[in-house]
């Protein structure tokens, strides 16, 4: 008998391709409510899978619009809720690979698919037959016996269609589609340029003298990164915030601090193939035209009309009120630092590259608190366990580690989230920086909770960029890093504890200036004494952090708040002002606008924007936070008031925790946020709570 080897190889190849495509498209089945099969997926199959899923989505929309029966909630809205599930699954996998394991293949797929996916979105949002059915149900929503959640879903979807152009004439719709396609390409290019600069640029230290002042753990991690790049006997300061902040805080070499900071703030701004300046100019012009087509004065007006703030004036008022106090505090901080530098005979005037270094010196002198000492009590694994423990105490959930689950990278760990014996959801945790992973920290909803057709539990992930040290040694993180850890897990809890019927209303599918409330509030549990005494254990001795050090941390909680707020507000004000100024026909030079805006605001010369324009991924790598970076401050104001409820009752007070869960965390977008907050607090927000929280003087004018 003769065996056709070539035919067998072809059959195996086709079988593997089929499995890969199926893993991208098929429902997630099996244990734990069904999870993605990363072990079967091949990146080269992502594009074809998504194109197949797009065809499926189109057929589902066609079936909705070509019904002969009159529009009802069931045959229109519920049919829409049920459509596009194949595309959602394939798109989720694509998003994961693009953000945490990017490479040339993935980047090419991104460039090819971004405009296609944008066009499909427009195709649906601008479908006249579909909007006719949606509007018919919307007009009848209060007289058809629908539940409050169903009415909410109708109003949200109708508003989305109108906001994105469903009522425009044919010519304007055509132009809108072209704008969105161009923006999709520009967003992809911006992101890939930024990632390229972060990966290709780094500061090499080639002598132990250049390590002066740097913590041992930082040096070990820097040596490990150098080894990975074949630079034996050297150390690397990576071009990301996780490496840069500690280097600028502790390096005693002012020339190296200056060199490192210039590298960091120049990402995307080096006048080379990765330069983002022209992309920003085009993005702003296109967004302005987009807004004008929809009848808005500016893109900022369009964006905020869909948020709690409603109007740019409200966001600007909040930011400018805080800006004055923040600048005044920052000037006091600079004076303190300059005095200390002078007393040491440093013979320098405080520059941006000196701010963190001398602020740390002032902190130690004023509060007798050393960040390096605090880090010795903040092991990453312990802080992860701490946030799980707090979630158990506050929300009654337990995180159970799972083994043998397919993951996108070996660094990822998986947990089943349980409440009693019931599975609530699944949580993927991806803590470490690596090549191909975008910088920062974020949460993603891979599958939203629902009980529409049947109960479906959410699949949520958190990504961070902590730097690994030597193999087998604990990773120590700063207090700011631990705060970020709790922040992102707050987003995760928002998704995991969702308890609504429809997926479009579930989890973090809420207004942008409301979504940061659960995350920023969750940060507050890090500083509770109950948690710190249990999990802040010295990495060598295992001794719990002392009451004295906890008291110092608490006392110093508002230290350097001038720098913190100015750095943030400079970015938020730039974001809002540049989107208010942008027009379709007058190009804006990003760098020039930055200089003019900072001068107009009177930004202290010692402080840069937290995100300079060419690296401001929040607003230029997509439209999520565009004209919306203020949202963090808006949420801060709500959180400050909400936290006072816990300060009054106790952060682990059962009734208050339950009220938070029942009125805010679990409801998704099924209730308007303003009403949800009243349900939690029993009143509207106290506008003075934010100033009290930041340690700024409260004025009543």
Q: Strand 202-205 to strand 413-419: parallel, antiparallel, or no bridges (unpaired)?
A: unpaired
CA gap 40, 30 in Å, rounded: 14
Cα 350–Cα 354–Cα 355 angle in degrees, nearest 5: 85
428: enclosing H helix or E strand = strand 422-432
Share of the chain above pLDDT 90, in %: 92
Task: Dump pLDDT digits (tens) for 603-661.
Answer: 999 999 999 999 999 999 999 999 999 999 999 999 999 999 999 999 999 999 999 99
Would you say residue 9 has pLDDT above 70? no
CA gap 455, 477 in Å, rounded: 38
CA dist 358 to 246, 346, 376, 674, Å?
13, 11, 21, 42
- Segment 291-308 mean pLDDT: 97
Would you call 433 helix, strand, or coil by DSSP?
Answer: coil
Task: Dump pLDDT digits (tens) for 177-196.
Answer: 999 999 999 999 999 999 99
560 sits in the region (left: phi over 0; alpha: psi -120 to 50; else beta) called: left
Closest Cα partner for 193 from 283, 305, 286?
283
Alpha helices, DSSP H only, in 497-621?
512-522, 529-535, 547-555, 561-581, 590-601, 617-620
Would you say residue 5 has pLDDT above 90? no
Q: What is the DSSP string of 440-461?
A: S-EEEEEE--B-SSS-B--EEE
**Can you give the pLDDT at residue 98?**
95
Q: Which one of the listed residues 81, 181, 198, 488 is annotated catalytic? A: 488
- In sequence order, what are the beta bridge partners of 456? 450
Alpha helices, DSSP H only, in 164-276?
170-200, 216-228, 241-250, 254-265
CA gap 26, 23 in Å, rounded: 6
217 in Cβ contact with 234 (< 8 Å): no
**Can you give the pLDDT at residue 1?**
45
Percent composition of the chain: helix, strand, coil (DSSP 3-state, to 5): 60, 5, 30
Q: What is the DSSP string of 256-274?
A: HHHHHHHHHHTTT-SSSTT
**Can you give the pLDDT at residue 4?**
59
* φ, ψ at 620 (rounded to 5°): -120, -5
CA gap 695, 569 in Å, rounded: 16
530 class by beta-carbon count within 10 Å (0-12 exposed, 13-18 middle, 19+ buried):
middle
Longest CA–CA span in the chain (Å) reads: 95
Mean pLDDT for all residues in the chain: 95
137 in Cβ contact with 154 (< 8 Å): yes
**Can you give the pLDDT at residue 700?**
55
**Can you give the pLDDT at residue 8?**
46
CA gap 211, 227 in Å, rounded: 16
**Can you give the pLDDT at residue 662?**
98
- Determine the length of the chain: 701
CA torsion, points 39, 44, 46, 51, in degrees to nearest 10? -150
CA gap 271, 262 in Å, rounded: 14
**Can you give the pLDDT at residue 13?**
52
- Segment 19-27 mean pLDDT: 90
**Can you give the pLDDT at residue 17?**
61
CA gap 339, 347 in Å, rounded: 11
CA dist 687 to 185, 230, 658, 699, Å?
41, 55, 24, 11
* φ, ψ at 396 (rounded to 5°): 75, 25
Predicted confidence band of residue 318 (pLDDT cuts 50, 70, 90): very high
Closest Cα partner for 447 from 20, 29, 19, 17?
29
Predicted confidence band of residue 2 (pLDDT cuts 50, 70, 90): very low
- Active site includes 488? yes
The rounded Cα 260 to chain-centroid distance in angstroms is 25
**Can you give the pLDDT at residue 472?**
85
Q: Is the dihedral of CA 9, 14, 17, 19 positive or negative?
A: negative
Predicted confidence band of residue 393 (pLDDT cuts 50, 70, 90): very high
**Can you give the pLDDT at residue 531?**
97
Domains of the chain and any CATH numbers: 16-125+127-167 (1.10.1370.40), 201-265 (no CATH), 277-369+560-629 (1.10.1370.10), 380-555+634-694 (1.10.1370.40)
The half-sphere exposure of 388 on its side-chain side, counting CA atoms within 13 A, is: 20
- Segment 311-335 mean pLDDT: 96
End-to-end CA gap in the chain:
95
- Segment 57-82 mean pLDDT: 97
Residue-wise burial string across 646-674, b where 16 or more C-beta atoms lie within 10 A, e elsewhere = beeeebeeeebbebbbebbbbbbbbbebe
**Can you give the pLDDT at residue 14?**
45
Would you say residue 221 has pLDDT above 80? yes
């Amino acid at each position: 008998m003769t065996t056709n080897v070539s035919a067998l190889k072809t059959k195996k190849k086709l079988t593997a391709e089929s499995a890969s495509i199926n893993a991208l498209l098929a429902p997630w089945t099996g244990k734990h409510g069904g999870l993605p099969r990363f072990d079967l997926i091949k990146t080269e199959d992502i594009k074809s899978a998504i194109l197949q899923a797009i065809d499926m989505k189109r057929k589902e929309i066609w079936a909705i619009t070509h019904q002969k029966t009159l529009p009802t909630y069931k045959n229109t809205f519920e049919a829409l809720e049920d459509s596009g599930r194949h595309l959602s699954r394939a798109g989720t996998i694509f998003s994961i690979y693009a953000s945490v394991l990017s490479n040339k293949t993935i980047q090419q797929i991104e460039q090819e698919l971004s405009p296609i996916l944008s066009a499909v979105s427009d195709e649906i949002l601008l479908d006249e037959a579909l909007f006719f059915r949606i509007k018919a149900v919307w007009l009848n929503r209060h007289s058809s016996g629908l539940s409050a959640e169903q009415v909410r879903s109708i109003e949200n979807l109708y508003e989305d269609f109108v906001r994105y152009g469903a009522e425009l004439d044919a010519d304007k719709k055509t132009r809108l589609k072209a704008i969105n396609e161009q923006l999709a390409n520009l967003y992809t290019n911006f992101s890939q340029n930024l990632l390229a600069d972060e990966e290709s640029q780094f500061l090499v230290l080639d002598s132990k003298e250049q390590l002066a002042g740097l913590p041992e753990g930082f040096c070990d991690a820097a040596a490990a990164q150098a080894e990975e790049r074949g630079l034996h006997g050297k150390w690397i300061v990576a071009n990301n915030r996780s490496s840069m902040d500690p280097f600028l805080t502790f390096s005693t070499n002012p020339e190296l601090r200056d060199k490192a900071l210039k590298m960091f703030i120049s990402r995307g701004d080096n006048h080379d193939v990765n330069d983002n300046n022209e992309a920003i100019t085009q993005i702003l012009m296109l967004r302005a035209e987009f807004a004008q087509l929809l009848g808005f004065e500016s893109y900022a007006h369009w964006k905020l009309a869909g948020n709690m703030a409603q109007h740019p004036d409200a966001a600007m008022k909040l930011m400018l009120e805080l800006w004055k106090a923040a600048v005044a505090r920052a000037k006091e901080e600079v004076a303190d630092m300059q005095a200390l530098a002078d007393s040491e005979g440093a013979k320098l005037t405080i520059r941006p590259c000196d701010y963190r270094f001398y602020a740390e010196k002032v902190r130690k002198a004023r509060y007798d608190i050393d960040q390096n000492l605090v880090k010795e009590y903040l092991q990453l694994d312990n802080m992860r366990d701490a946030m799980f423990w707090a979630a158990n105490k506050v929300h009654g959930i337990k995180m159970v580690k799972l083994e043998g689950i397919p993951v996108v990278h070996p660094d990822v760990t998986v947990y089943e989230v349980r409440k009693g014996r019931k599975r609530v959801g699944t949580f993927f945790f991806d803590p470490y920086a690596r090549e191909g992973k975008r910088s920062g920290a974020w949460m993603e909803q891979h599958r939203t909770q629902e009980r529409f057709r049947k109960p479906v539990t959410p699949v949520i992930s958190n990504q961070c960029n902590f730097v690994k040290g030597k193999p087998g040694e604990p990773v120590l993180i700063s207090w700011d890093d631990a705060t970020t850890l709790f922040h992102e897990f707050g987003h995760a809890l928002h998704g995991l504890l969702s308890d609504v019927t429809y997926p479009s209303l579930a989890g973090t599918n809420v207004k942008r200036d409301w979504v940061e409330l659960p995350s920023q509030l969750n940060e507050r549990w890090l500083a509770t004494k109950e948690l710190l005494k249990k999990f802040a254990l010295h990495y060598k001795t295992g001794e719990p952090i002392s009451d004295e050090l906890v008291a110092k941390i608490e006392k110093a909680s508002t230290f350097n708040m001038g720098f913190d707020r100015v750095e943030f507000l400079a970015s938020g004000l730039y974001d809002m002002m540049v989107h208010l100024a942008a027009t379709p026909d007058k190009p804006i030079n990003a760098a020039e606008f930055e200089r003019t805006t900072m001068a107009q605001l009177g930004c202290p010369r010692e402080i840069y924007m937290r995100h300079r324009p060419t690296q401001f991924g929040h607003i230029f790598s997509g439209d999520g936070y565009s004209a919306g970076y203020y949202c963090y401050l808006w949420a801060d104001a709500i959180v400050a008031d909400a936290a006072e409820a816990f300060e009054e009752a106790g952060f682990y007070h059962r009734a208050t925790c339950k009220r938070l869960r029942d009125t805010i965390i679990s409801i998704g977008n099924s209730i308007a946020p303003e009403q949800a907050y009243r349900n939690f607090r029993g009143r509207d927000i106290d506008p003075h709570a934010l100033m009290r929280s930041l340690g700024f003087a409260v004025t009543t004018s």
